[in-house]
Structure 1
Amino acid sequence: MPRRRGACAVTPRPTDDRAVETADDAAGFVALGLRAELLRSLAGLGYEEPTPIQREAIPLLLEGRDLVGQAATGTGKTAAFALPVLERSRAGRGRGGPMALVLVPTRELAVQVSEALHRYGRDLGARVLPLYGGQPIVRQLRALDGGVDVVVATPGRALDHIGRSTLRLDELEVVVLDEADEMLDLGFADEIEAILGDTPETRQTVLFSATMPPRIDGMVRRHLRDPVRLTMGQERTAPGEAPLVRQSAYVVPRAHKAAALGRVLDVEAPVATIVFCRTRDEVDHLTETLNGRGYRAEALHGGMDQEQRDRVMGRLRSATAELLVATDVAARGLDIDSLTHVVNYDVPAGPEAYVHRIGRVGRAGREGVAITLAEPREHRMLQTIERVTGQRIVIEQLPTVADLRARRLELTRASLREALLDGGLDPFRAVVEPLADEFDVVEVALAAVKLAHQAGGGAVDDDEEIPVATPSAGASGARHGGGGAPGGRRGGGGPSAGGTRLWVGAG
């Protein structure tokens, strides 16, 4: 097939026997045609087999094809574009502009993609530079002046450097748009158009997006040439096996949401959780409430500066905090290895937001849990999300007081069993043996269990049952606020008897 304009293929390299010998653990990547240095890095990182998106995308990108990939978070798409980008890396490029530009929606994702490129290209000496707001610009200017191979940038900061003539794109060979739908949701459409308009027409263009709204299709038509299209979801499980992401929802009156969240967290006992809220105020209020109930929660929203954000993320990654309460915008691009649960404190505004939120768990073959707390009137939006995503969201009953107490006792039993298996109990014989002479040994054990249960928070007084709520069949889940008559139906055209009609100007 003749090469089309703009398809700059990567020059094949001869097989390196040393690469095969040193990359036995990454044997699945050898057949993709990657250079020896990359194979050694992959082997050192413990990579064995490429994911489906990597297996399909890497050979096409090495051929120089433009590509559109619809891939959920956690499918391995970063390596799918990072490895072909690094394959282009050449020693001794000097102080020129980058040969690759990766555009991402958030500073957190810029850091993560940059770190991944560093890890994969450690034996190549590739110069990778993240550019994002909140970082000292003097440091960025110094690095750009010294020459870089790959720039990973948010659109706003990239355009700022282009305007300063400190980021030159005349040597650019490939542009990657990562999480393109997120960038458009954040309002970066004009910046992306301006950046792409300043790049060479011969460039290779790669676009990855979890969803494909019409705006993405328009961008593809304008800027990609005869692209190959790949669609990859989370890896499917065999029939009868549990899905990678268990999705469920609880229908809860708004006044009881905080209590319901605490009860669900107690029963689920997650390692690390992100709780998504709609507004900054809600994030701050819920974080304060959760900390008051004994959880270790941190807030993350757009009103925080970079130093505060870094401090919060450090606490979560070091397990100093177990809950991250965040807005959608603040949490975009986060990648937390220990994350097991995602909680939607409100039903997301649409299926795309839902897909991005739950994509934070169930990554790289690990199981995850996605929980949504829905008000009765939000049930219709849940049904819309199910229809669009093709995945079932199971409506569960909230744990009762009895369920909660049983779960806490089970956790106490598990802790005691672990202590028995670990051993090292001899120092405590001096306490137990005299008591066993005075009381029945079972009574002594029961007293010890009681103390352990109380010390672990199992004796927290929580006798109030949360009212059972049922979905309002006629309510629209897409709107926030606005009470309705029983059953979800709005009242008639006039006020109720004795009532007063008020008109409120929302603008």
Structure 2
Amino acid sequence: MRTWSAGTLELPVRSTPDISPSLGRQEPGLRDKRRSVIGLSRRDSGGGESFSSGSIRDGGPVISKWEQLPLAPELLRSLSKFGVGPPNKIQQRALPFLLRGADIIAQAPPTQERIAAYVIPAIQVALTHSLNRPPNRGPIVLMISTTVDQATQAQRMIRDLGGPIGVRSALGVGATSINSDLSQEVRLLQQSIPHIICGTPQKLHALFTAPGGLVGSEVRFLVIDEVDQLIARNLHEFVFNIVKLLPPPRSRSTPNATSGPIGTSSFSSPEPNLLNPFPNQNQNRRLSGIITPNGGDAAEGASMQIERQTALFSNTVPQDVLNLASAIQLREPVRVLVRRDGNVTHADTNQGSRGLRQFYLYLAFTAGGGRSEPLPPPGSGLGIIGSGRGASSAETAQAREWKLDALADLFQDIDVPQAIVHVGGMTALDSVVYKLASCGLEAVPLHGDMNAGTKLAALNKFRTATASIMRQPTTKVLVVYDVQVKAPEVSHIPLIINYDLPKAVEEYMSRINPAMASNHGRAGVVINFVTATGGDVEMLRSIECHYK
């Protein structure tokens, strides 16, 4: 599966519709079915509708102050006391759905405002369900953050806003090795059960699964932040094991989860057994589905069973994130999209870079199945989330082959005289050079092990136009590893491809410099290949945040 970021490449298209036999394995008709890369649009899985910062204003609730939300009076006073500003974009769009009880998938930049977008409804849930109840046996809200920093920020915000009004919170981060004394931590938590507990996946998993550990049967609100990073770091199995201990997801007929004027997005799966790592979640559950004690609220008295609301927050929403949402059984989740502001940093202030068109191509490889192989049977593991992680050598080789195919597809569609492809190793350089040459392109390798004379010869070969009368001009591709290609050496490059993302954020700018517009030219296009493995999602997020 390939997912494009939104936009239009606006590069010349090759006129020939025929597929080159050198592209290797292609099923009959695949070329005709594959959408041209020239017209890019954001893929929305399952046919669901996405609500961006512009479209949601046309038909749904838009709030400008906290008093417009159904928040508890003491929480409103706390927001005012601590000087929390008016709701921003992500809060305006996510809070009405969260306070209504809907499941959501929210895509927004990682800021304090995004943390507040789930902290505020979490405090509201804690206040609502902690009143007139006997001492709770377990936390009411569970927040899972990929990094210690995000979890710490969330817990501090809960402490500042909810602490003065009686909401207890705890932070679960740190080592989870055998030597760490989990029993003492669990004992301290059991003495005063927090209403809300924030933490990292490994630590929370240890606290819930340790002997005499925390009880998950009363968790009514589950928040998972930085989902793209969580998957990139191969932490989703911890989340699945935690969710097994929580109450079942809210029913589709929950009255307070109706869509209202906007509606909801349903991400259904044709293979529910593959998407769901625990198909019998509601049967033989160790801790969930507990009958509520006497004195519970009216809604619980009617249903006699606690249900879980879930909110996913992420900086990017590739297919892996949607698959995870299906795996933990989100019910008709609303997708909320808040775009980044268009301002630039000091590193991106020149006129040429403003016209630069930058895209990512997310390549999700299915571990455990080739194109002609059957899907794994239910119960044999996911294999579609965090695809490629923990894969065998054969699967890794298959993924590399598909990545090369995607590169060949790009050059099959796009007609440019020159391009630069940056790779992350000598093995990748050799593979890319061979693949492009087999497609009829002139691939010129350039790497750090070359001496100065060989490097200069390679650059001259790339810069010099091909003198040929008998054939059409050939696209020249400079395949680069561990060398800085500076703008004076090569300039006005219409296409730069980061086949492998850089290892450092600062390296990104030096790579894309040759595509920036000069005084007499137009800025080119940069395409970043992003895979589920190797921390690509995390690096892409870091690049986006650094350069805005």
**Comparing both structures, which one devotes a greater share of its residues to helix?**
1
**Larger RCO: 1 or 2 (CA < 8 Å, sep 6+):** 2
The TM tier, using the shorter chain, reads: 0.3 to 0.5
- TM-score, length-scaled by structure 1: 0.44
What TM-score comes out, normalization by structure 2 length? 0.40
